[in-house]
Amino acid sequence: MTEQATDPIRGVAAIEAALATMPLTPGVYRMLDARGDALYVGKARALKKRVASYTQPARLPERLRLMVSQTAAMEIVTTHTEAEALLLEANLIKRLKPRFNIILRDDKSYPWLLLTEDHPFPQIAKHRGARVRRGSYYGPFASAWAVNQTVTAMQRVFLLRSCADTVFANRSRPCLLFQIRRCSAPCVGRIDEAAYGELVAQAKAFLSGKGASVQRALAEEMEQAAEALEFERAAAIRDRIRGLTHVQGSGVVNPESIEDADVIAAWQGAGQTCVQVFFIRGGRNNGNRAFFPAHTRAEETPEVLAAFIAQFYDDKPPPKLVLVNHELPERALIAEALSLKAQTFGARRHVELAHPKRGEKLAVVQHAETNAREALERKLAESAGQAKLLAATAELFGLPAPPERIEVYDNSHIMGASPYGVMIVAGPEGFLKSAYRKFSIRGPIAPGDDFAMMREVLTRRFGRALRENAEADAPTTPGSGWGWPDLVLIDGGAGQLSAVRSVLADLGAHDVRVVAIAKGPDRDAGREWFHTEGREPFQLPARDPVLYFLQRLRDEAHRFAITTHRAGRSKALVSSELDDVPGIGPARKRALLNHFGSARGVKAAGLADLEAAPGISKAMARLVYAHFHPGARVEGVSG
């Protein structure tokens, strides 16, 4: 293996070698270490001029001098414009996570609100993932809670159905939502298609920011009902108006002068940055979320905020207005790049990036900034408390330093069925959920043999880490998915401890401290016994903070094991004969089940019925029919 470069002169030589053939066009450059991993990703208007600045390490800050010293090679990608280079840079940073870049740690998808358009009576629903279903999408929302609140409000105001099409097709009487006035019950004919279409049109107008006109129309309809002495109908419309008024409540949280915008504010302290993002759509606040980008202490707030914005919109459409609390470097370039990104999502619009100085927009930005400051203060306080607990844990178990990575293992099964093992990870920042791992037990293992399950999990986990470390010739970082643990916790007593030590010894992992936590008499929390090598089993005082900390770690592992097992068991329960049909994946299976109601319905369907199913091609329909009718001759299917 090539030795990693640590000499600035060698790093400069590698950069100069790349400069010999580097063009003066816009593009993105990657600095690579000796293993080929990305150290840094940057963009430039003129690649050769920008990269040439790295050949004079004495003029660079310490962080970049270290980066240059580790550079063994460079790669470039040219683009047509600098804005395209900025978009590509953001994409590569999110994907490669280079250690010298500012990195947005955001691996979650955002929920949207969907009004379907493939049914005579459209459904309102929460949606995540690819937009494969025909309909109107509204969002994004900051959380599932925020979109659920909006769905509930839309049901109350516009009486739209939220049930799945299969449920809709099989109802014979109204459900509870009709009784509590949250649905108009189109499933049983309580409203015709034309009247329901008016409700859908009102809902779309409201979601598009035209709530005032919808409210005026409802007020006129209520007055007409009252004049016609239809008092019950007038009262129902009155309740809808009240719900609409409540949803449209204005203020800093729901600004009147802002229709569609994202409000992004950063606050920096103690070398860390919190970025708060508020989603405003149609004049409504769709919730907010806090982010903590990874960066060095030398990075200033505007630079962190600019890098955050570029990466944040890598996989989502930007609104027409983005409000920020700092004047950003290259603000015009970022706005141009966001406009290009909007076009990739089919929205041909100019995106404005603004730093407001007065009025309601300034108030909204200041509100987001306050939230960012408070979230950062909470995180720093939690980190300080976490640091004390980790130091006390190190003292308790004789570790040389506070642990950077604690791994906790647990198993879950029911009489040996759907067995899973799990690993959770905790460190100075709390639980590292991106490092959690699930292990579907492969066996062969006797039902209920927890020792064998733990042996398989640890063999797979540490065997892989040892192989990766050998290939990389260096330990992985504490927060990575397969980093080396400072402390391993397992649920059990002396027997489990001995079994785990045996597995680790066989693998050659002798430097891992293992602690087994045995439940006390009657499995009472607070009376646990701790088993570790070279020490007699012991208990901690009932109110010891370290005891609470270790209990929380064990309980989190137990929770993750239970949810993993339940998910695996549910997946096994919903498996059907369709899983055995060649070419039938999750999407086609869902389409067939939604159309025919069950696997039995698919099996009994004729070829013409299968060909008429949405999302099923004629060729796929022939394959499905031939699978369930092996004796029948089907044109176009061989064998």
Same domain for 559 and 614, yes or no, is no
Model confidence at 568, pLDDT cuts 50, 70, 90, reads confident
80 found inside a domain: yes
Tell me, yes or no, whether 265 and 233 share the same domain. no
Q: How far is CA 496 from CA 368, 412, 489, 491, 514, in A?
A: 50, 15, 11, 8, 10
- Report which of residues 148 and 240 the model is more confident about: 148
pLDDT computed for residue 483 by the predictor: 76
For residue 608, the domain's CATH number is 1.10.150.20
Q: Is the pLDDT of residue 453 over 90?
A: no
What whole-number distance in Å separates Cα of residue 298 and Cα of residue 262? Answer: 27
pLDDT for the residue numbered 250: 43
Q: Name the helix (H) or strand (E) containing 156.
A: helix 144-158
Report the range out of 116-130, 240-254, 402-416 with the highest average pLDDT.
Answer: 116-130
- Residue bearing the bigger pLDDT, 511 or 272: 272
Q: Which residues pair with 515 in a beta bridge?
A: 489, 532
Return the percentage of the chain with pLDDT > 90, whole number: 46
Whether residue 637 lies inside any domain: the answer is no
Question: Does one domain contain both 351 and 439?
Answer: no
Report the pLDDT value the prediction gives residue 128, as an integer from 0 to 100. Answer: 86
| Residues 119/165, Cβ–Cβ less than 8 Å | yes
- Please tell me the predicted confidence (pLDDT) of residue 248: 56
For residues 603 and 565, state if they share a domain. no
Residue 389 lies in a domain: no
User: What is the residue whose two structure tokens read 């659920």?
Assistant: 148
pLDDT of amino acid 632: 66
Q: Is residue 206 part of a domain?
A: yes
Q: What is the pLDDT of residue 474?
A: 47
- Please tell me whether residues 58 and 151 are part of one structural domain: no
Which residue range is the domain that position 606 belongs to?
Answer: 577-628
Q: HEC string of 428-496?
A: CCEECHHHCEEEECCCCCCCCCHHHHHHHHHHHHHHHHHHHHHHHCCCCCCCCCCCCCCEEEEECCHHH
Averaged pLDDT of the chain: 85
* Residues 281 and 138 sit within 8 Å (Cβ to Cβ): yes
Could you tell me the CA-to-CA distances from 397 to 122, 436, 496, 517, 585 in Å, in that order?
A: 60, 23, 18, 13, 49
Amino acid at site 583:
G
Paired tokens of 475: 């330990």
Specify whether 413 is located in the same domain as 535: yes
Whether residue 545 is preceded by a cis peptide bond, meaning omega within 30 degrees of 0, is: no
Asked if residue 2 has pLDDT above 50, the reply is no
Which pLDDT band, with edges at 50, 70 and 90, does 236 fall under?
confident
Judge whether residue 531 has pLDDT over 50.
yes
Residue 251's pLDDT is 44
Structure-block tokens of residue 42: 């940057």
Q: Which amino acid is at 274?
A: C
Q: Return the pLDDT at 521.
A: 62
For CA atoms 89, 92, 97, 103, give the dihedral sign.
Answer: positive
CA–CA separation, 396 and 520 (whole Å): 19
| pLDDT band at residue 520 using 50, 70 and 90 as cut-offs | low
Nearest to 188 by CA among 118, 129, 121, 247: 121
Evaluate whether residue 253 is within a structural domain. Answer: no
Give residue 567's pLDDT: 78
Query: For residues 178 and 163, what is the distance between their CA atoms, to the nearest angstrom?
Result: 12
Q: Which residues lie below 8 Å from residue 596, measured CB to CB, with a gap of 6+?
A: 602, 605, 609, 613
Nearest in space to 311 (alpha carbons), one of 299, 286, 323, 294: 294
Q: Quick one: which of 93, 95, 113, 117 has its CA closest to 103?
A: 93
Phi, psi of 420 (to 5 degrees): -135, 145
Q: What is the CATH number of the domain that holds 331?
A: 3.30.420.10
**pLDDT tier for residue 235 given thresholds of 50, 70 and 90:** confident
Average pLDDT over residues 478-497: 80
Angle at 572 (CA atoms; ends 570, 577), nearest 5 degrees = 125
Kindly report the number of other CB atoms within 10 A of residue 293's CB atom: 22
Structural domains of the chain, count: 5
* Residue with the two structure tokens 């306050």: 370
- Whole-angstrom distance, CA of residue 464 vs CA of residue 133: 40
What's the CA gap between 191 and 213, in Å, rounded?
A: 23
Instruction: Please check whether residues 117 and 241 belong to one and the same domain.
Output: yes
Residue 290's closest CA among 369, 182, 352?
A: 369
Res. 635 pLDDT band, cuts 50 70 90: low
Q: What are phi and psi of 482, to 5 degrees?
A: -125, 35
Is residue 465 located within the same domain as residue 541? yes
Residue 405: per-residue pLDDT: 95
556 in the same domain as 601: no
* Rounded CA separation 291/285 (Å): 18
SS3 270: coil
581 within some domain: yes
Highest mean pLDDT of the ranges 157-166, 203-212, 479-488 = 157-166
Alpha-carbon separation of residue 500 from 205, 403, 437, 509 (angstroms):
62, 20, 18, 11
Number of H helices, E strands in the chain: 20, 19
The residues with which 532 forms a beta bridge, in sequence order, are 515, 535
Q: What is the dihedral of CA 496, 498, 504, 507, to 10 degrees?
A: -120
Domain boundary (357, 377, 397) is at: 377
Inform me whether the pLDDT recorded for 4 exceeds 50: no
pLDDT in tens, 378-422: 888 888 889 999 999 999 999 999 999 999 999 887 665 678 899
Q: Could you tell me if 512 and 485 are in contact, meaning their C-beta atoms sit under 8 angstroms apart? A: yes
Q: What mean pLDDT comes out for the span 265-291? A: 91
- Of 323, 356, 377, which one is at a domain's C-terminal end? 377
pLDDT, one tens digit per residue, over 343-359 is 988 877 899 999 999 98
Half-sphere exposure of 540 (CA within 13 A, CB side): 21
In a shared domain, residues 69 and 116: no
Instruction: State the CATH number of the domain containing residue 21.
Output: 3.40.1440.10
Other C-beta atoms closer than 10 Å to the C-beta of 625 total 21
Q: Do 84 and 129 have their domain in common? A: no
pLDDT at residue 328, as a whole number: 95
Q: How far apart are CA 398 and CA 379, in angstroms?
A: 28
On the question of pLDDT at 311 being above 80, the answer is yes
Percent of the chain residues past pLDDT 70, beyond the cut: 89
Please check whether residue 399 lies inside any domain of the structure. no
294 DSSP 8-state letter? B
* Residues forming a β-bridge with 75: 30
Residue 121: φ, ψ to 5°: -120, 90
Structural domain contains residue 397: no
Q: What six digits make up the tokens of 584?
A: 């039938």
| 214 and 121 in a common domain | yes
How many CB atoms neighbour CB 603 within 10 A? 16
Of 548, 571, 594, the position where a domain reaches its end is: 571
What whole-number distance in Å separates Cα of residue 384 and Cα of residue 376?
A: 12
